[in-house]
Copies of this chain bind each other. A is one copy, B any other.
Amino acid sequence: MSIRAGIVVTGTEVLTGRVADANGPWLAERLRELGVDVGHVVVVGDRPDDLRDALAFLAGTGVPLVVTTGGLGPTADDLTAEVVGAFQGRPSAVDAELERRIAAVVERLMAMRGWRADAGSTAAGVRKQARVPAGAAVLEPVGTAPGLVVPPADGRSGPVVVVLPGPPGELRGMWSAALAAGPVAALLTDVPELRQETVRMWGTLEAQLAATLRDAEDRLGGLEITTCMREGELEIVTRFGPDAQPAYDGLLDALTERHGDTIFSTGPDLDAVVAGALTGRGLTVATAESCTGGLLAGRLSARAGSSAFLLGGVAAYANSAKEALLDVPEAVIAEHGAVSAEVAAALADGARARFGADVGVGITGVAGPGGGTADKPVGTVHLCVVGPDARLSRALRLRGSRTAVRDRSVTMAMHLLRELLLGGPPA
């Protein structure tokens, strides 16, 4: 039978959004691959009572496994290990051997960075980080903080709590050791697979999809279907056990029948679709961006292996840069304005020519909050993609913040690339 788990993300910096949490989703996905379904991720600040409440809540939902992240640093506001130990009925004490190992890491770190090493001032912090609940398994530090696997004290019931550090690199580096620890390995034995499939559409409203799902309702047993609309893209994610594979196949048939012309992927995301189309046809691409300032090039280059298709891009913020680096004629800017279909086309052509790429992309727009006019308000964006034998253009009026306008412009450029390369639903 599949099992469930809960996740606690600690840290006032996460709660207040100064740091975006990458750990909760990462852990939820890793657990899902193991057949473990996460029902709740609770984000708490650095108050011990709040953490205790969160642990009690998750234990109360009956999950056999809770994973915590963060709160393992040397400062007094980092309290996770101590609170989890107390919650599980296992008082903490300093592990002298561990203390020695952490001290060595801290010394090495400071020396590496050329920072003034003052072992005395760091000793108390190291000692704090070396405190281990009685009977807990220690996961060796990847940075300075050890992880812990803390089962309930003998005679108590409740979840096994895995305590991991907050820095994503440290957490991920410790994950396999956490899974191998006795109490966790025992939980995961014989858990069946939990499959996940994704269908992506462009040009169908969530309300239309809802009608399709209602009509197919009696054939969807065993499927957990969630839909999400963002920036015009409708994503349908379905989770199911191996027994429900036929039901999923039936769902896919129903979706294809009703919405086949808007489906652009039954798996890979937009970025993978575009990258696959470029590499599959052996084409190269170059970008010329004004309002998005390099974000499209940044997104294209985010994929490992992107050097196979991405030659580069120019963020041409100043008009002089559009002229000097991308050969946009001064007269075109003067006549139509920097934010115009004509300049978007000239940018795409310029990128293609200057980089010697097969495909060029041009983006120009008013990201705001300033710079809008009655004629070209904030959110006006012109896009153009040009390939060996086709050219596509779009004019957009986007709503939202500067960040939203920039992000959506980049997504629309990716859809234009997709349409140019593969056809499918028009961007």
Chain A interface residues (CB < 8 Å from chain B)? 11-22, 24-26, 28-29, 32, 38-47, 50, 53-54, 57, 60-61, 73-77, 106, 109-110, 113, 115, 118, 120-122, 124-126, 128, 144, 167-169, 203-214, 224-230, 232, 235, 237, 286-287, 289, 292-298, 300-302, 304-307, 310-318, 320-321, 324-325, 354-356, 368-371, 399-404, 406
Contact = CB atoms under 8 A, between A and B. Distances in A.
A159 to B, nearest CB: 15
A293 B304 contact: no
Interface of A is mostly: mixed
Contact of A317 (B57, B212, B301, B369): B301
Nearest to A41: B43
Nearest to A26: B17
B237 A18 contact: yes
A-B interface, 6 closest residue pairs, ranked by CB to CB distance from nearest: A17-B25, A293-B301, A294-B294, A294-B297, A125-B207, A122-B207
Given A301-B317, A315-B287, A208 B121 contact: yes
Given A17-B26, A312-B314, A314-B314, 6 more contacts: A13-B228, A40-B42, A124-B211, A125-B207, A168-B400, A293-B300
Nearest to A58: B57
A226 B12 contact: yes
23 contacts: A15-B24, A15-B25, A15-B38, A17-B26, A17-B29, A20-B25, A42-B42, A46-B226, A75-B209, A77-B226, A115-B203, A124-B207, A167-B230, A289-B294, A293-B310, A293-B312, A294-B313, A295-B295, A304-B402, A311-B317, A320-B355, A325-B325, A325-B354
Contacts of A106: 205, 207
Q: Which of A42, A296, A297 has the most CB of B within 10 A?
A: A297
Contacts of A38: 15, 45
